[in-house]
Structure 1
Amino acid sequence: MIANNGRRLAFHVTPGHSPTLVLDAGGGEDSSYWDALVPQLSKATGSQIITYDRAGLGASDEVQGPWDPRAAAADLQAGLRELGVTRNAVLVSHSQAGEVATYFARANPGVLSGAVLVDANLPQFFTDSQIERLIALTAPQIEELKKQPATKANRQLIATADNFGPTHQAYHLLAWPDSVPVTAIVAEKTPFDGSPEDAQHWRDAATAFVAAGPGRTLVTAEESSHDVPKDKPALVIAEVERMAATVK
């Protein structure tokens, strides 16, 4: 348990060598999302592996207010510093954790030797028109969640909906640092398998992200849903292994 800004956060460490692999799950998910992948990654790379529960999830303390990816990135920074990870880290971020990864990479480029963004939220996706579509698309789901018994996962998703527009308008303006190599894995089916327009915008955003700077690679997870780590674990392992092998 690591303290930051008055809250305790749960970090889980699998021993190994450098580079350290840091796995960050998507919205509403805690570190257990990676349980099946951690031993496979450990065997494939021999690396130290860190998973953690973001504030409000798993064994970590909850926080009040809307989702704040900058605060989440600061929590991750505090945890890694406490664990002695100050360089040669490879960040593996799924879905909503792409926002944490972007803020973290911008604030701590020297800590990261690379990143693998797994069907992750990328700044290019969140145009004003797309934000409006997402708010309208998710409003019924959020209202239904508010009626259900409260859980950490539900509260996290509701917190994401709160202040969604301004949070993601600000995120849209961010650029990934050119000094950090990154592989973007995009799911063929995307999170919007039932909405061709949104799915195409998601794929286009990944293409634009990779074209926006050096050292970027785009990989398509064919026939995969948004849950690429569970649908195509071998692909994720291969791309993480490839990125880890580049670390001097």
Structure 2
Amino acid sequence: MTSRNILVLSAAVLVAVAACAQPKAPPPAPSVHMIATNGHRLAFHDTPGHSPAIVLDAGGGEDSSYWEPLVAQLSAATGSRIITYDRAGMGASDETQGPWDGRAAASDLAAGLRTLGVTGHAVLVSHSQAGEVAAYLVRANPGVVARAVLVDANLPQFFTDPQIKRIVRTTAPQIEELKKQPSTKKNRQLIATADGFGPTHRAFHQLTWPADVPVTVIVSEKTPFDGSPPDARHWRSAAAAFVAAGPGRTLVTARGSSHDVPRDNPALVLQETAKMVKE
């Protein structure tokens, strides 16, 4: 290599290093939309970016703020438009009456996405209870979701009759204690989930995931049942059965993570979501 070529190469390396050293611009600020649907209003947070949109749906008892640390990372890594929202009764969204209903929650999310102009090719990321919303959403709204990442999510295979009875029996004392405490938004939502748990989850157990929506299932190593080995085994087995039940499904284990995978291992959620965006 000539001295001139060495100088040119050195200059190029210096420019590249300088470019890498520049601090990354913060993601665009999200806009907040109060969207009326099904007789109540929901708060949607929309961070600008290109298609495909990434839709983040938090688990039970959580609102859109759960995703705040990950939104900035996803925005920087993918450049995608990112949408989070507060389900009915959470965050800034209105409360609704009656027991938890995955179909109604999916209808709310679909209406919000339509209002925001997201009618296809979205990547859906759902944690925990939001797995139920995801299943109803993709079945009732073909084409809206192109790919999904289910993060230690509720899956139909988990909710067998023996498991439903076990959950109802073991959580009954906790629910009774909640009913004695001062009523709060979060408590009311937990009580609503317990009301009608059996019929709601027997219906969910019959649900199938569409074959044309590829999905990555992230299952935590510790699961939501870290203190109960039989329940933890059933949770992991249900995830494996879900993945084996159709094409285009991938199972990933979040090693060392609790059920709270987006907080314990955000890099893994970012990695698997970015893969779906790229594909």
TM class by smaller structure: over 0.9
Aligned to 1:106: 139
Residue correspondence of structure 1 range 49-198 to structure 2 within 5 A: 49-198=82-231
- How far apart, in 1, do the equivalents of 2:84 and 2:63 lie? 9
- How far apart, in 2, do the equivalents of 1:129 and 1:37 lie? 36
Provide the TM-score with structure 1 as the length reference: 0.98
Structure 2 gap ranges (5+): 1-33
- Superposed structure 1 runs of 4+ greater than 6 Å apart: none
- How far apart, in 2, do the equivalents of 1:97 and 1:4 lie? 19
Aligned to 1:243: 276
Q: Is the 8 A contact 1:109 1:180 kept in 2?
A: no
1:78 to partner: Cα distance: 0.2
Q: Is the 8 A contact 1:95 1:119 kept in 2?
A: yes
Compare relative contact order (CA 8 Å, sep 6+) and give the higher one, 1 or 2: 1
- How far apart, in 2, do the equivalents of 1:174 and 1:4 lie? 24
Structure 1 gap ranges (5+): none
CA displacement 1:32-72 (0-9 Å, x = unmatched): 11111110111111100000000011100000100000000
3-state secondary structure, aligned to 1:150: coil
Match for residue 70 of structure 2 among 32, 37, 43? 37
Provide the TM-score with structure 2 as the length reference: 0.87
1:109 to partner: Cα distance: 2.4
What is the CA RMSD across the aligned residues, in angstroms?
Answer: 0.6
Match for residue 199 of structure 1 among 227, 232, 249? 232
Q: Which amino acid aligns with 2:139?
A: R
- How far apart, in 1, do the equivalents of 2:123 and 2:140 lie? 15
- How far apart, in 1, do the equivalents of 2:177 and 2:261 lie? 26
State how many pairs are aligned. Answer: 246
CA displacement 1:177-210 (0-9 Å, x = unmatched): 0010000000000000000000000000000000
- How far apart, in 2, do the equivalents of 1:23 and 1:140 lie? 32
- How far apart, in 1, do the equivalents of 2:220 and 2:206 lie? 24
Aligned to 1:218: 251
Rg bigger for which structure?
2
> Percent of aligned positions with the same letter in both sequences?
77
- How far apart, in 2, do the equivalents of 1:24 and 1:68 lie? 15
Aligned to 2:58: 25
